[in-house]
Amino acid sequence: MPAIYHIPVLLNESIDGLNLQPDSICIDVTFGGGGHSREIISRIGKNGHLYSFDQDQDAIRNIGEDERFTFVHSNFRYLKNFMRYHNVEVVDAILADLGVSSHHFDDESRGFSFRFTEGELDMRMNQKSGKTAANILNTYSVEELADIFYLYGELKRARQIASAIVKKRQTEEYKTIKDLLDTLEAFTNRGKEKKILAQAFQALRIEVNEEMAALKEMLLQSLEALKTGGRISVITYHSLEDRLVKNFFKTGNFEGKVDKDFYGNINTPFRLVNNKVIVPSKEEEEQNSRSRSAKLRIAEKI
């Protein structure tokens, strides 16, 4: 295993919140470097079991041998199907760390980071899937691109960026990261270059991997998979994800629509374990700069 594939964020806080027991049956829907999974296994005793999902081929190299561990090479949006395949009806705990692994940002060939200008515009978590960032830039309409950059990247000049992309591709196809950076240069403000580039790359990554749809599907299936009293910890890294998780935990839906009973109590399938969102300590932020935007929410199924 590489020395640093990914440093697990909010490790103790997220696992402590799961209230694990010696015989807990658990799911880690984002195996990655295996940091959270290893901590879960260390706490579930001889009779517990952990099922860890990851669609990325590179994650397989981080698997260790343990009879209490089962690796599921798939997107977590298929959680229910694979639990049925493994004859698991309900589980005690589910963990999701929605961040992109450091490994992905540091691998020039994967196209996740704007630091590597000669890298291809790929951004696929599952390298066997068809759609890449280049495909999107070369085929989506102005309207579709504008929606992506505005909704997923929260870029104020989304429409102008989309128009510039469509204009450029009429004479030159998008292939490398530099191709995109050349277009985005006109829309970056001095001193805020990295922020705007990060937002644009985030937007494309979300679209390539259908991250928001997959998250919604996973959360709905997690509700079914959890036993009464079971807990779920979710670590998010941008406001779109956090809003979905917050609304779902609080109201049982993604819009945050509150439904109250006769007595004025909110009808929700969860009890919030932490009413206030948990964020990394100053020490963790100093040790791992990529943890700075992390937010942890924990809920218990009622």
What superfamily would CATH give domain 11-101+212-301? Vaccinia Virus protein VP39 (3.40.50.150)
Give pLDDT, residue 1.
Answer: 35
Q: What is the mean pLDDT of the chain?
A: 92
pLDDT > 50? residue 3: no
pLDDT > 90? residue 196: yes
Check if the beta carbon of residue 123 is closer than 8 Å to that of residue 133.
yes
What is the per-residue pLDDT across 246-281, written as a single tens digit (0 to 9) for each? 999 999 999 999 998 899 888 999 999 999 999 999
User: Residue 95, SS3?
Assistant: strand
- Which pTM was predicted? 0.91
Check if the beta carbon of residue 250 is closer than 8 Å to that of residue 268.
yes
Confidence of residue 115 (pLDDT cuts 50, 70, 90): confident
290-to-107, 231, 286, 298 alpha-carbon distances in Å: 16, 25, 9, 21
What is the per-residue pLDDT across 53-109, written as a single tens digit (0 to 9) for each? 999 887 888 888 899 999 999 999 999 999 999 999 999 999 999 987 655 555 666
Give pLDDT, residue 126.
Answer: 83
What superfamily would CATH give domain 103-209? Putative methyltransferase TM0872, insert domain (1.10.150.170)
What is the per-residue pLDDT across 210-228, written as a single tens digit (0 to 9) for each? 999 999 999 999 999 999 9
What is the per-residue pLDDT across 128-151, written as a single tens digit (0 to 9) for each? 877 999 999 999 999 999 999 999
Report the percent of the chain where pLDDT is more than 90. 79
pLDDT > 60? residue 5: no
- 191 Cβ neighbours under 8 A, 6+ residues apart: none
Check if the beta carbon of residue 205 is closer than 8 Å to that of residue 133.
yes
What is the per-residue pLDDT across 229-241, written as a single tens digit (0 to 9) for each? 999 999 999 999 9
pLDDT > 60? residue 120: yes
Give pLDDT, residue 6.
Answer: 63
Q: Where along the chain do its domains lie? A: 11-101+212-301, 103-209
Euclidean distance between CA atoms 220 and 236, whole angstroms: 17
Report the percent of the chain where pLDDT is more than 70. 95
Check if the beta carbon of residue 187 is closer than 8 Å to that of residue 160.
yes
DSSP string for 233-258: EEEE-SHHHHHHHHHHHHHSSSS---
